Amino acid sequence: MRPGGFLPSVSVCIPVYNGETFLAETIRSILDQTWRDFELVLLENNSSDASWEIATSFRDPRIRVERNRETLPQGENWNRAVQLCRAPLVKLVCADDLLHPRCLELQVPPMRDDPSLALVASRRHMIDEQSRVIVPRRGLGGNLVGLHSGSEVARRVIRNGANPIGEPGNVLFRLEQFVAAGGWRSDRRFIMDLDAWMRLLHYGDFLGIPETLAAFRIARGTVSSQYEQQLSDEQQLLFDELGGSGVFDVRSLDVRIGRMTLPLGRARRKALFKVSRLAARRDDKALAEEQEAASS
Protein backbone atom coordinates (compact mmCIF):
# COMPACT_ATOMS: atom_id res chain seq x y z
CA MET A 1 0.00 0.00 0.00
CA ARG A 2 1.33 3.42 -0.94
CA PRO A 3 1.76 6.39 1.41
CA GLY A 4 -1.58 7.56 2.74
CA GLY A 5 -3.10 4.09 2.50
CA PHE A 6 -4.27 4.44 -1.12
CA LEU A 7 -4.16 1.50 -3.48
CA PRO A 8 -3.24 2.05 -7.13
CA SER A 9 -6.02 1.68 -9.67
CA VAL A 10 -4.14 -1.02 -11.58
CA SER A 11 -1.28 -3.47 -11.01
CA VAL A 12 1.12 -4.47 -13.76
CA CYS A 13 3.12 -7.59 -12.95
CA ILE A 14 6.13 -9.09 -14.71
CA PRO A 15 7.06 -12.70 -13.93
CA VAL A 16 10.66 -13.02 -15.08
CA TYR A 17 12.98 -16.00 -15.43
CA ASN A 18 16.35 -15.54 -17.13
CA GLY A 19 15.00 -12.51 -18.93
CA GLU A 20 18.04 -10.24 -18.84
CA THR A 21 18.07 -9.63 -22.61
CA PHE A 22 14.83 -7.66 -22.84
CA LEU A 23 13.77 -6.99 -19.22
CA ALA A 24 15.02 -3.40 -18.97
CA GLU A 25 13.21 -2.45 -22.19
CA THR A 26 10.02 -4.06 -20.90
CA ILE A 27 10.22 -2.21 -17.57
CA ARG A 28 10.83 1.13 -19.30
CA SER A 29 7.80 0.62 -21.53
CA ILE A 30 5.64 0.25 -18.41
CA LEU A 31 7.17 3.16 -16.52
CA ASP A 32 6.52 5.37 -19.59
CA GLN A 33 2.75 4.94 -19.33
CA THR A 34 0.67 8.11 -19.61
CA TRP A 35 -1.63 6.59 -16.94
CA ARG A 36 0.46 7.17 -13.84
CA ASP A 37 -1.66 5.53 -11.13
CA PHE A 38 -0.25 2.01 -11.15
CA GLU A 39 2.11 -0.29 -9.33
CA LEU A 40 4.67 -2.48 -11.08
CA VAL A 41 5.31 -5.84 -9.43
CA LEU A 42 8.35 -7.80 -10.62
CA LEU A 43 8.60 -11.43 -9.54
CA GLU A 44 12.09 -12.80 -10.19
CA ASN A 45 11.93 -16.58 -10.46
CA ASN A 46 15.37 -17.46 -9.04
CA SER A 47 17.10 -16.78 -12.35
CA SER A 48 20.68 -17.73 -13.14
CA ASP A 49 21.34 -14.55 -15.16
CA ALA A 50 21.27 -10.84 -14.28
CA SER A 51 17.46 -10.51 -14.11
CA TRP A 52 17.50 -9.69 -10.38
CA GLU A 53 20.17 -7.01 -10.78
CA ILE A 54 18.26 -5.42 -13.67
CA ALA A 55 14.94 -5.53 -11.83
CA THR A 56 16.38 -3.87 -8.72
CA SER A 57 18.34 -1.23 -10.65
CA PHE A 58 15.28 0.95 -11.32
CA ARG A 59 14.55 3.67 -8.80
CA ASP A 60 10.83 4.32 -9.03
CA PRO A 61 8.46 4.26 -6.02
CA ARG A 62 5.84 2.39 -8.04
CA ILE A 63 8.10 -0.66 -8.43
CA ARG A 64 8.10 -3.59 -6.02
CA VAL A 65 10.52 -6.46 -6.64
CA GLU A 66 10.02 -9.93 -5.14
CA ARG A 67 12.10 -13.07 -5.56
CA ASN A 68 11.25 -16.77 -5.37
CA ARG A 69 13.58 -18.83 -3.20
CA GLU A 70 13.42 -21.62 -5.74
CA THR A 71 12.49 -21.69 -9.40
CA LEU A 72 8.77 -22.31 -9.85
CA PRO A 73 7.07 -23.81 -12.92
CA GLN A 74 5.69 -21.15 -15.24
CA GLY A 75 2.06 -21.54 -14.18
CA GLU A 76 2.86 -21.31 -10.48
CA ASN A 77 5.13 -18.33 -11.07
CA TRP A 78 2.48 -16.47 -13.06
CA ASN A 79 -0.11 -17.16 -10.37
CA ARG A 80 2.20 -15.89 -7.63
CA ALA A 81 2.91 -12.75 -9.66
CA VAL A 82 -0.81 -11.98 -9.79
CA GLN A 83 -1.26 -12.87 -6.11
CA LEU A 84 1.31 -10.19 -5.23
CA CYS A 85 -0.79 -7.53 -6.95
CA ARG A 86 -2.82 -5.16 -4.74
CA ALA A 87 -4.99 -3.25 -7.23
CA PRO A 88 -8.44 -4.41 -8.36
CA LEU A 89 -7.33 -4.44 -12.01
CA VAL A 90 -4.35 -6.47 -13.23
CA LYS A 91 -2.21 -6.79 -16.34
CA LEU A 92 0.51 -9.43 -16.65
CA VAL A 93 3.36 -8.58 -19.03
CA CYS A 94 5.93 -11.16 -20.06
CA ALA A 95 9.53 -10.08 -19.51
CA ASP A 96 10.26 -9.63 -23.22
CA ASP A 97 7.05 -7.89 -24.33
CA LEU A 98 6.26 -4.17 -24.48
CA LEU A 99 3.39 -1.79 -23.75
CA HIS A 100 2.44 1.25 -25.80
CA PRO A 101 2.58 4.42 -23.64
CA ARG A 102 -1.23 4.81 -23.77
CA CYS A 103 -2.05 1.17 -22.99
CA LEU A 104 -3.27 1.73 -19.42
CA GLU A 105 -4.81 5.09 -20.29
CA LEU A 106 -7.13 3.45 -22.82
CA GLN A 107 -7.80 0.17 -21.01
CA VAL A 108 -8.24 1.09 -17.35
CA PRO A 109 -11.16 3.61 -17.54
CA PRO A 110 -13.58 1.25 -19.33
CA MET A 111 -12.96 -1.49 -16.77
CA ARG A 112 -13.12 0.95 -13.87
CA ASP A 113 -16.38 2.51 -15.05
CA ASP A 114 -18.26 -0.59 -16.22
CA PRO A 115 -18.49 -3.44 -13.68
CA SER A 116 -20.10 -5.70 -16.31
CA LEU A 117 -16.78 -5.98 -18.15
CA ALA A 118 -14.56 -8.97 -17.38
CA LEU A 119 -11.87 -8.38 -20.02
CA VAL A 120 -10.55 -5.46 -22.04
CA ALA A 121 -8.15 -6.30 -24.87
CA SER A 122 -6.43 -4.42 -27.66
CA ARG A 123 -4.49 -5.23 -30.78
CA ARG A 124 -0.73 -5.79 -30.59
CA HIS A 125 2.29 -5.72 -32.88
CA MET A 126 4.45 -8.78 -33.40
CA ILE A 127 8.09 -7.75 -32.99
CA ASP A 128 11.46 -9.42 -33.44
CA GLU A 129 14.57 -9.52 -31.27
CA GLN A 130 15.47 -5.96 -32.31
CA SER A 131 11.96 -4.68 -31.43
CA ARG A 132 11.16 -4.22 -35.11
CA VAL A 133 7.54 -4.75 -36.09
CA ILE A 134 7.28 -7.86 -38.26
CA VAL A 135 3.46 -8.08 -38.28
CA PRO A 136 1.52 -4.92 -37.35
CA ARG A 137 -1.89 -4.58 -35.68
CA ARG A 138 -2.51 -8.24 -35.03
CA GLY A 139 -5.44 -9.59 -33.02
CA LEU A 140 -9.16 -9.14 -32.37
CA GLY A 141 -9.93 -10.99 -35.57
CA GLY A 142 -13.41 -12.32 -36.20
CA ASN A 143 -15.02 -8.95 -35.41
CA LEU A 144 -13.94 -8.86 -31.77
CA VAL A 145 -13.61 -5.06 -31.73
CA GLY A 146 -16.27 -3.48 -29.53
CA LEU A 147 -18.52 -4.91 -26.81
CA HIS A 148 -19.34 -8.63 -26.88
CA SER A 149 -20.86 -11.23 -24.61
CA GLY A 150 -18.89 -14.24 -23.47
CA SER A 151 -20.87 -16.49 -25.83
CA GLU A 152 -20.07 -14.26 -28.81
CA VAL A 153 -16.38 -14.34 -27.95
CA ALA A 154 -16.38 -18.12 -27.43
CA ARG A 155 -17.93 -18.73 -30.85
CA ARG A 156 -15.46 -16.41 -32.57
CA VAL A 157 -12.46 -17.83 -30.74
CA ILE A 158 -13.42 -21.35 -31.82
CA ARG A 159 -14.04 -20.33 -35.43
CA ASN A 160 -10.73 -18.43 -35.51
CA GLY A 161 -8.73 -21.56 -34.75
CA ALA A 162 -6.12 -19.66 -32.74
CA ASN A 163 -6.03 -16.94 -30.05
CA PRO A 164 -7.63 -13.78 -31.47
CA ILE A 165 -7.80 -12.18 -28.00
CA GLY A 166 -4.04 -12.23 -27.59
CA GLU A 167 -1.35 -12.65 -24.97
CA PRO A 168 -1.47 -11.26 -21.40
CA GLY A 169 0.28 -7.99 -22.26
CA ASN A 170 -2.63 -6.66 -24.31
CA VAL A 171 -5.36 -7.82 -21.89
CA LEU A 172 -6.65 -6.29 -18.63
CA PHE A 173 -8.67 -8.29 -16.09
CA ARG A 174 -10.07 -8.09 -12.55
CA LEU A 175 -8.11 -9.62 -9.68
CA GLU A 176 -11.20 -10.83 -7.83
CA GLN A 177 -12.55 -12.64 -10.88
CA PHE A 178 -9.15 -14.10 -11.70
CA VAL A 179 -8.99 -15.70 -8.24
CA ALA A 180 -12.58 -16.96 -8.52
CA ALA A 181 -11.87 -18.46 -11.95
CA GLY A 182 -8.92 -20.45 -10.64
CA GLY A 183 -6.03 -18.47 -12.10
CA TRP A 184 -3.58 -19.76 -14.66
CA ARG A 185 -3.79 -23.53 -15.24
CA SER A 186 -0.41 -25.27 -15.39
CA ASP A 187 -1.92 -28.20 -17.29
CA ARG A 188 -2.70 -25.78 -20.13
CA ARG A 189 0.91 -24.73 -20.47
CA PHE A 190 0.77 -23.57 -24.08
CA ILE A 191 -2.61 -21.83 -23.96
CA MET A 192 -2.63 -20.58 -20.36
CA ASP A 193 -3.71 -17.14 -21.52
CA LEU A 194 -6.58 -18.16 -23.83
CA ASP A 195 -7.81 -20.75 -21.32
CA ALA A 196 -7.87 -18.07 -18.59
CA TRP A 197 -9.65 -15.55 -20.81
CA MET A 198 -12.49 -17.96 -21.53
CA ARG A 199 -12.94 -18.77 -17.83
CA LEU A 200 -12.91 -15.07 -16.94
CA LEU A 201 -15.66 -14.46 -19.47
CA HIS A 202 -17.96 -16.51 -17.24
CA TYR A 203 -18.11 -13.36 -15.11
CA GLY A 204 -18.83 -10.63 -17.64
CA ASP A 205 -18.47 -9.15 -21.09
CA PHE A 206 -15.55 -8.45 -23.39
CA LEU A 207 -14.43 -5.12 -24.81
CA GLY A 208 -12.07 -5.07 -27.78
CA ILE A 209 -10.21 -1.78 -28.31
CA PRO A 210 -9.09 -1.19 -31.92
CA GLU A 211 -5.85 0.61 -31.02
CA THR A 212 -2.55 -1.27 -31.00
CA LEU A 213 -1.40 -1.01 -27.38
CA ALA A 214 1.18 -3.78 -26.85
CA ALA A 215 3.92 -5.71 -28.60
CA PHE A 216 4.52 -9.45 -28.43
CA ARG A 217 8.09 -10.51 -29.09
CA ILE A 218 8.84 -13.55 -31.22
CA ALA A 219 12.45 -14.47 -30.54
CA ARG A 220 14.62 -17.52 -31.05
CA GLY A 221 13.66 -20.08 -28.47
CA THR A 222 10.08 -18.87 -28.08
CA VAL A 223 8.35 -21.76 -26.32
CA SER A 224 5.31 -21.97 -28.59
CA SER A 225 7.54 -22.24 -31.66
CA GLN A 226 9.01 -25.48 -30.31
CA TYR A 227 5.82 -27.24 -29.24
CA GLU A 228 3.34 -26.61 -32.02
CA GLN A 229 1.65 -30.00 -31.78
CA GLN A 230 1.06 -29.70 -28.03
CA LEU A 231 -0.29 -26.18 -28.50
CA SER A 232 -2.74 -27.36 -31.17
CA ASP A 233 -3.83 -30.31 -29.04
CA GLU A 234 -4.54 -28.03 -26.06
CA GLN A 235 -6.50 -25.64 -28.26
CA GLN A 236 -8.63 -28.47 -29.64
CA LEU A 237 -9.34 -29.68 -26.10
CA LEU A 238 -10.37 -26.16 -25.06
CA PHE A 239 -12.63 -25.72 -28.09
CA ASP A 240 -14.34 -29.05 -27.37
CA GLU A 241 -14.83 -28.01 -23.73
CA LEU A 242 -16.34 -24.69 -24.74
CA GLY A 243 -18.72 -26.50 -27.06
CA GLY A 244 -19.87 -28.91 -24.39
CA SER A 245 -19.79 -26.83 -21.22
CA GLY A 246 -23.22 -25.24 -21.50
CA VAL A 247 -21.83 -21.99 -20.07
CA PHE A 248 -21.59 -20.35 -23.48
CA ASP A 249 -24.05 -20.55 -26.34
CA VAL A 250 -21.71 -22.44 -28.66
CA ARG A 251 -23.23 -24.45 -31.49
CA SER A 252 -21.99 -27.74 -32.91
CA LEU A 253 -21.38 -25.90 -36.21
CA ASP A 254 -18.94 -23.57 -34.41
CA VAL A 255 -16.95 -26.55 -33.14
CA ARG A 256 -16.89 -28.20 -36.58
CA ILE A 257 -15.63 -24.98 -38.16
CA GLY A 258 -13.03 -24.69 -35.40
CA ARG A 259 -11.67 -28.15 -36.19
CA MET A 260 -11.24 -27.08 -39.82
CA THR A 261 -9.61 -23.73 -39.02
CA LEU A 262 -7.24 -25.05 -36.35
CA PRO A 263 -4.60 -26.01 -38.97
CA LEU A 264 -4.87 -22.49 -40.41
CA GLY A 265 -4.05 -21.01 -37.01
CA ARG A 266 -1.09 -23.34 -36.74
CA ALA A 267 0.11 -22.27 -40.21
CA ARG A 268 -0.14 -18.59 -39.26
CA ARG A 269 2.00 -19.16 -36.17
CA LYS A 270 4.60 -21.08 -38.14
CA ALA A 271 4.81 -18.22 -40.64
CA LEU A 272 5.41 -15.74 -37.83
CA PHE A 273 8.18 -17.85 -36.32
CA LYS A 274 9.80 -18.22 -39.75
CA VAL A 275 9.80 -14.46 -40.34
CA SER A 276 11.39 -13.90 -36.94
CA ARG A 277 14.09 -16.53 -37.55
CA LEU A 278 14.94 -15.01 -40.92
CA ALA A 279 15.29 -11.56 -39.33
CA ALA A 280 17.54 -13.00 -36.61
CA ARG A 281 19.76 -14.72 -39.17
CA ARG A 282 20.09 -11.47 -41.13
CA ASP A 283 21.13 -9.69 -37.93
CA ASP A 284 23.68 -12.39 -37.14
CA LYS A 285 25.14 -12.15 -40.64
CA ALA A 286 25.34 -8.35 -40.47
CA LEU A 287 27.06 -8.50 -37.08
CA ALA A 288 29.57 -11.05 -38.32
CA GLU A 289 30.37 -8.87 -41.34
CA GLU A 290 30.86 -5.83 -39.09
CA GLN A 291 33.19 -7.77 -36.81
CA GLU A 292 35.16 -9.10 -39.77
CA ALA A 293 35.50 -5.60 -41.22
CA ALA A 294 36.62 -4.22 -37.88
CA SER A 295 39.30 -6.88 -37.48
CA SER A 296 40.69 -6.55 -41.00
Contacts of 267 (CB under 8 A, 6+ apart): none
- Cβ burial of 247 (10 Å; 0-12, 13-18, 19+) is middle
* Tally of residues, the chain: 296
Average pLDDT over residues 167-175: 98
pLDDT in tens, 76-126: 999 999 999 999 999 999 999 999 999 999 999 999 999 999 999 999 999
| CA atoms within 13 A of residue 294's CA, in its CB half-sphere | 6
pLDDT in tens, 29-56: 999 999 999 999 999 999 999 999 999 9
DSSP state string for 118-186: EEEEEEEEEE-TTS-EEEEEE--TTT-SEEE-HHHHHHHHHHHTS-SS--GGGEEEEHHHHHHHT---G
Please check the confidence at residue 204 and state whether its pLDDT lies above 60.
Answer: yes
Please check the confidence at residue 226 and state whether its pLDDT lies above 90.
Answer: no
User: Which pTM was predicted?
Assistant: 0.91
- Coil, strand, or helix at residue 27? helix
Q: What are phi and psi of 110, to 5 degrees?
A: -60, -40
pLDDT in tens, 259-268: 999 988 878 7
pLDDT value of position 277: 72
pLDDT category at 5 given cuts 50, 70, 90 is low
Q: What are phi and psi of 155, to 5 degrees?
A: -60, -40
Would you list the domain boundaries of the chain?
7-284
Average pLDDT over residues 182-193: 96
CATH superfamily assigned to domain 7-284: Spore Coat Polysaccharide Biosynthesis Protein SpsA; Chain A (3.90.550.10)
Antiparallel, parallel or unpaired: β 98-99 and 133-138: unpaired
Distances (CA, A) of 63 to 13, 47, 55, 282: 10, 19, 9, 36
* Whole-number percent of the chain with pLDDT over 70: 93
